[in-house]
Chain A
C-alpha cells in the first residue's frame, strides 16, 4: 500500500458472504478479543454464529419468538445477550447454545442491548421509551434501575466504563454519567438510530434519520463534524468508526457503503460508492483489531465480510 497521509482506504473486497439467514439481518457483531467470529441476528428469529474467516456457520441460537434487533457479546466471549420483538432480553451461553436467563419487563420490543465491561449489568433500550439496567450477578427479576427520561423509543445504547449513552427516536442522545451523577441530553433534532462513542469517550458518532451522521463532542455537546451524502431516512443504519477511528463508515438504504474522513468529513473514494447490497444495510461494524476487515449486514438477508484486497 502506498504511503499516504490520508486515512486507510476502506476494505472493499468481498471476502465472504454469509447468507444462511432467511429474511433481513438486523444486527451483526464481532466477538470480543481477537474477533474471529461474528454473531448475526435477523428477522428469522435466530442468532447465528459464524467463523469470519471461513464463513462457516458454527451455530444457530434459536429461542426467540420474534425478530432479533440487537446483540451484545461479553468480554470473555462466553455469553452474549440478544433482544428483539419478544420484549425480553435473552442471555445465552455460547458453548451450550441455551438461554441462561430471560429478562422480561419491557413493554415493547427491545431495540438495543449492551453489556457493561465485565458483563455484570446489561442495559436494554426499548420501544417503551425506557432503558432498563439489569443485574446479572443477582437473581432478581427486577432491573436495577429504569431510565425513563426518553420520550420515544430508545434505539441504541452504549455502555461505557462509567457512563451510558442512549439514543432515542425523540431526537436526543442522553449520556448518563455515573461518576458525576448527571444526565446530559443532547438534542440532535432527528430520530437517533445509533450512537457509537470513540475509545476515549470524548466524542460520539450519532446517526440520525435525516441523512446525517454527526460527530458530537461528548463534553460540550457541540457538533464537531457532519457526515452526509448517504441516504438514511427510515431505517436504522448503524454507522461505525473505521480502523483507528480515522474514518467513519456507514451503509445506507441503497445498499452502498459510505466512508468519510473523520477530520475533514470528505467522502472517501469511490464517491458515490458502489451498491453492494440489494437492500438497506442495517449494520456496519469494523473489526476491532484488524485494520482491513469489516462486516455489513443487510435487509437482503446477507452478511458480508469485507477485507482489503491485499490481505
Chain B
C-alpha cells in the first residue's frame, strides 16, 4: 500500500441530503439506520454500492442513501438489479422491496432471481399491508384481515416470504425485525458476506395501516418468549429463561419444556448449511411471523449454502470465449461465405 488511506467511512457518509419522508414512527427509519450503520463496516467504497428498489414505501429507500440508487418500477427491482450485477460484477448491489412489491406484482422476478442465485442482497420489508396506496391487504396479510379492499375480512391465503425464498432455491435466507437493531445489523452483515442471492425478510411495523402487526413478537415480553434466535450449531432453545426448546420428531417440530429430564440435548441443533432445504422450509413454516401461534418466530439465518452464482457463470463464459475465440469485427461482418465483384463486373468466391 503506497497510497494514503482514505478516512474510514461513517454512517454519515451514507446519509443523502434528501429529507426522509416516511410517516413518523414508521419501522423503515430503523431499517435505514441499521443499513447506514452496517455499510461503512463492510470495507466497500461508497461508489461501489447500488441500491435498487421497486415501488412502495420501502422502495423510497435509495433516495435516503448517499450511494448510487435506482428507484425503478413496481416489482421489477430484482430484474433491474440483475442487469446491473451481470454487467458490473465490481458493484455491490442491494435490492430493497416490500411484501406487495416483491411477492405480488414482482413475484416472478423474485423467484427467478433467487433460482439463478444472482449475487444480490434482497431486503424485503414485510409490514403485511399496502402502505403507499393507503391500506389494502397484501399477499402476506393474515386471513380475516379487514382493510379498505377487504371490508368483510380477507379470504385470501397469505404467503410466507421465507418459504417462497427457500422454495425458489435461495442460497441465503434470513429474517430479522425492524427494531431489533443489533440482531438486524448482524443479519445484514451476514447477508452482505454471502456470495449469491441473500434474501432477508425484515418484519416492519406500519404504524398507520397495520400498527402492532408484530407486537406479540416485538413487545418487551415477546422478544424472549416468542423469538427463536437461530444460531448455527446451537440447539434450538427459546423462552424467558431459555426454558423451552424445539425438538424435531422426524416429521415435525415440537415445543418441549426444558427441565424435568429434558435438556438442550433433546433439542435440534440448528444447521443453516444443511444441503437439503426441506428442514429450513419446515422451520420457516412453524410460524406466520407474528408471534401469535403455538410456536416461536424463527429469526436469524435459516439457510446459508454455497453455490455458484449466475452472474459469475455468465461472465466466466464471456471471459473464456473472448480469450479462446478471438475474432475481429471485420471477420464477424464478413461471415463464412462471401463473394467479390471486381471493377470489371467479374464475380469470384471469397473476399478481396
Q: Do A and B come from one complex?
A: no
